[in-house]
Structure 1
C-alpha cells in the first residue's frame, strides 16, 4: 500500500497508541469490576465467605465481558466501510452498551452513591413523619377550638339558673324550682364536656413532645457520619415509636366525643315537671322550659356542626418505613445523584469514544492513501520472486506491461572494410573442457633437444 505522508503519519500514530489503548481498556474494565463488586456485595445475603466469592466471580465476569466486547469493537468497527455493515455494528454496539449498563453501571452507581442514597431515603421518610406529626397535632388542637363555645354555653346556663334562683328572672318567682333545676342540669353537662376537652389538652401536649424527641433523634441518625447500616436500623426503630405516638395523637381527638355529647343534649333532653304552686306559675315554668329546650337544641346543632367540620379534616394515614438496599435507593432517587450515575456509566461506555476515534482515523487514512487491493497482503518472499521475474522478462526483451516481445529496430548494413585477422581472445577457463586443457598442455610444453 502506497501511503501519502499524512496517511503514513496517521498509521504510525495508531500503531503507537495501540498499547496505550489496550492498557486503558484494561484499566477501565478493572475499575468497573471493582465498583461492581462493591455494589453487588450489598445485595447478597449469606455467610461472609459466600458473599465474597459470589461478588468476586460476578465482578470478574463483568470485567472480562467489558474488555472482550470493547476489544471486538475496537478491532472491527474501524475496518468496516460498508454503510449497512457499519450500521449493523453500531446496532450491535448499542445492544452491548445496554447490556453493560444493565449488568454493571447501576451497581457502579450503587457503590459510588449507595450510602448517600440511603441517607436521602431516610431524610425523605423523616420529612414525611414530621408532616404526619404536625397534621395529627393540628387535628388534635382543632378539637380544642370547641372549648370556648362549650364554656360559654355552660356559663350562660349557670348564669340563668342563678338569676332565676335569686330574682325569678325567667318565671317571675324566686327560688329553686323546676326551671332552676333544668338550667343547672344543662350547665353541669356543658361543664363536663368542657372538662373532657380540657383534659385532652395536656395529653396532646405530652404526646407532641414525645414525637418531637423522636424526630430529633431521627435527624441525628440521618446527619451523623459513619456506617449507614446501623444508622438505618436505629432509624427504623425510632420510626416505629414515632408511628405509635402519631396514632395516639389521633386517638386523643375529642371532636367525635363532642359531637356525641352535643347530640345527647338535644336528643336526651329531659324536662322536669312544673312544680309551681299555682296554675299560672306552672304554665310560666312550662313556657320557660320549652324555651330552654329550644336553646339547648340550637346549642347542640352549633356544636355538632363545629365538630363535623373538624372531623372532615383528613385523618393521618399510618406511615411505615421501608428499608432499601443501596442499589434500590440509587434507582429510586436517581434524579438526586445524576453525577454519580454519569460517572458510573462513563466508566463502562468510555471506550465508545475510542471506537469512534479509530473509525474516523481509519477513514482518513483510506481517503488519503492510494491503495492497491492486490498488494494489501503480499509477503516478502512473494515480492522477491516478483522482482526476479521482472528482471528475467526485461532480459528476455518482453514488455512487462503487455507481456509481448519488444519489436527491436532493424540494424543498418555496415560498410565492407578489410580488417587484418586478429587472434581471438583466450578462452575462458570456466568454459574449457578437460580434453582441451590436456591438448593445450601438450602443445605448450617444450620439445626435448
Structure 2
C-alpha cells in the first residue's frame, strides 16, 4: 500500500510539472501587463519613449518573476536541512519584497489608479469646502455687531430729536450744542453701519462665486471619462477658488470696526456750550459729559467685540497638489485594500505552489524511507550493484565467503562480550 501511494504521489508531482510552468508563465505575463499600464501612468515624455520604456520595464518584471519562482519551485522542495531551508525562506522573503517594490504597487496603480485619483479630488473638494465656509464665517463675524451699532445710533438720534423738540436732556428746546453732539455721534455710527452693510453684499457675492467653483469641482470628480483631463480642469478651478477664498478673507470689516470704535472715544470733540445763560450752559456741559461717558463705554464694547473677531484663526493658504495614479494609490492605500490584495496576489501566488510542491516532496521522502530497501532501490542503482558484483567475481573475490567470515566475526564479538559480563546475554 505504501509503495502504491508513493508511486501515485510521484506520478502526481510529475503530472503537474508542466502545469506549474504554465501557471508561472501566465502569472508573470499578467503582472507584466499591469506593470506596463502602471508605468505608463507615471512616465513623462513623448508617446514613443513612454511606450518603449514601459514595455522594456514590464518585460523585465515578467522575466524576473518567472525566473525567481522557477528557481524556487526547482530547489526549495528538495532541500532537507533546517539551515539550508531557513536560508531559502529568507531568500524567498527578500524576493517577495523586491517583487512588491518593482511590480505590485504598479499593478495596484493600474487596477485602482483612476479611482484613487478621484478619491484625491473628492477629499480636496471637502477641504476646500471647509476653507470656504470658515472664510465666509470670518467675513460675516463683523455682521454680528450690526444690531448693537444700529441700536446705539438710533438711541443717539432719538435723544437728539427729543432734545430739539422737548428739551428732554437740558430742559430747554432748540438745536443747541447737545443736539449737535448727539447728531454727530449718530452720524458716525450710521456711517459705520452703512460700511458693515456694504461689506455684506461683497461677502455674499464672493461666497456665491466660491460655491459655483465647488459645484464645478464636484461635477468633475463624478463625471465619466478619462481622469487626466478632469484633473487638469479641476486644478484650474482649485486655483480660482483659492483666489476667491483669499478675497473673502480680506473682506472682513472687523479691523475697520475696531478703528471706528476707537475713533468714537479718542476722536470725541464736544462743542462749546451754546447757552447764553450760565445755568443753561452748565446743564449742557453736564449732559455732554454724560454723552462722553456713554460714547467711551460704547467704544470699549465695540472694540472688545472686534478684538474677539480678529483673534479668529485665519484660513491658511491651500494649494492643490496633483498626483499621479501610482502616487494616489500609495497615499490612499487603506481605501483600496482589495485592489492591493489582487495586485500582490498576482505576484506572490507562486509561493503557494512552491509550498505545495515542498509538502508533496516531503511526504514522498517519508514514504520512501518507510519502504524496505528492495522497494526503495531504483533500476539504475540495481544495475550499478550488478556491475560491481561482476567486477568482484572477475577479480576472484568470493562474496559469499566474505559475508560468512564477517558474520562469524560479529558472532565471536557478541560471545566474548557475554562471557565478560559487559554486554547483554544472548
TM-score of the aligned structures, taking structure 1 as reference length: 0.85
Across the two proteins, how many residue pairs are aligned to each other?
404
For 1:17, what is the secondary structure of its paired residue? Answer: helix
Q: Kindly tell me: are residues 261 and 400 of structure 1, through their superposed partners in 2, closer, same or farther at Cα, counting changes over 3 Å? A: farther
CA contact (8 A) 1:106 1:327 kept: yes
Q: Kindly tell me: are residues 234 and 402 of structure 1, through their superposed partners in 2, closer, same or farther at Cα, counting changes over 3 Å? A: same
Q: Kindly tell me: are residues 110 and 403 of structure 1, through their superposed partners in 2, closer, same or farther at Cα, counting changes over 3 Å? A: farther
Structure 1 residue 385 displacement after superposition: 3.0
Whole-angstrom CA distance in 2 between matches of 1:46 and 1:3: 65
Moved more, 227-236 or 166-175: 166-175
Query: Can you list the C-alpha shifts for 1:126-151, whole angstroms capped at 9, x where unaligned?
Result: 00011111111112222111111111
Whole-angstrom CA distance in 2 between matches of 1:114 and 1:396: 79
Q: Kindly tell me: are residues 93 and 43 of structure 1, through their superposed partners in 2, closer, same or farther at Cα, counting changes over 3 Å? A: same
Name the structure 1 match of 2:306.
Answer: 307
Name the structure 1 match of 2:261.
Answer: 262
Whole-angstrom CA distance in 1 between matches of 2:349 and 2:329: 22
| Structure 1 or 2: more helix by fraction | 2
For 1:402, what is the secondary structure of its paired residue? Answer: helix
Structure 1 residue 217 displacement after superposition: 0.6
Name the structure 1 match of 2:91.
Answer: 92
Query: Can you list the C-alpha shifts for 1:43-80, whole angstroms capped at 9, x where unaligned?
Result: 11111111111111111111111111111111111111
For 1:338, what is the secondary structure of its paired residue? Answer: helix
Query: Can you list the C-alpha shifts for 1:399-437, whole angstroms capped at 9, x where unaligned?
Result: 28828799xxxxxxxxxxxxxxxxxxxxxxxxxxxxxxx
Q: How does 1:25-424 map to 2 (within 5 A)?
A: 25-370=24-369, 378=380, 382=384, 385=387, 398-399=399-400, 402=403
Root-mean-square deviation (Å):
2.5
Whole-angstrom CA distance in 1 between matches of 2:23 and 2:194: 79
Query: Can you list the C-alpha shifts for 1:25-55, whole angstroms capped at 9, x where unaligned?
Result: 0000111111111111111111111111111
Moved more, 194-203 or 379-388: 379-388
CA contact (8 A) 1:274 1:286 kept: yes
User: Is 1:7–2:9 an aligned residue pair?
Assistant: no
For 1:179, what is the secondary structure of its paired residue? Answer: helix
TM-score of the aligned structures, taking structure 2 as reference length: 0.90
Query: Can you list the C-alpha shifts for 1:256-283, whole angstroms capped at 9, x where unaligned?
Result: 1111111110111111111210111111
Whole-angstrom CA distance in 1 between matches of 2:208 and 2:406: 115
Structure 1 residue 388 displacement after superposition: 5.5
Whole-angstrom CA distance in 1 between matches of 2:406 and 2:391: 15
Q: Kindly tell me: are residues 111 and 405 of structure 1, through their superposed partners in 2, closer, same or farther at Cα, counting changes over 3 Å? A: closer
Query: Can you list the C-alpha shifts for 1:370-398, whole angstroms capped at 9, x where unaligned?
Result: 376996794686366357569x69x9975
CA contact (8 A) 1:158 1:184 kept: yes
CA contact (8 A) 1:74 1:358 kept: yes
Whole-angstrom CA distance in 2 between matches of 1:380 and 1:239: 83
* Residue segments in structure 2 that go unaligned for 5+ positions in a row: 408-426
Whole-angstrom CA distance in 2 between matches of 1:93 and 1:82: 16
For 1:271, what is the secondary structure of its paired residue? Answer: coil
Whole-angstrom CA distance in 2 between matches of 1:9 and 1:403: 40
CA contact (8 A) 1:29 1:348 kept: yes
Structure 1 residue 4 displacement after superposition: 2.1
Structure 1 residue 320 displacement after superposition: 1.0
Query: Can you list the C-alpha shifts for 1:201-243, whole angstroms capped at 9, x where unaligned?
Result: 1111111111111111111100011100000000000111111
For 1:369, what is the secondary structure of its paired residue? Answer: helix
Whole-angstrom CA distance in 2 between matches of 1:356 and 1:292: 95
Name the structure 1 match of 2:419.
Answer: none
Q: Kindly tell me: are residues 74 and 403 of structure 1, through their superposed partners in 2, closer, same or farther at Cα, counting changes over 3 Å? A: farther
Q: Kindly tell me: are residues 380 and 42 of structure 1, through their superposed partners in 2, closer, same or farther at Cα, counting changes over 3 Å? A: farther
Query: Can you list the C-alpha shifts for 1:87-128, whole angstroms capped at 9, x where unaligned?
Result: 111011101111111111111111111000000000000000
CA contact (8 A) 1:398 1:405 kept: no
CA contact (8 A) 1:29 1:63 kept: yes
For 1:194, what is the secondary structure of its paired residue? Answer: helix
Whole-angstrom CA distance in 2 between matches of 1:214 and 1:403: 105
Whole-angstrom CA distance in 2 between matches of 1:187 and 1:400: 139
For 1:159, what is the secondary structure of its paired residue? Answer: helix
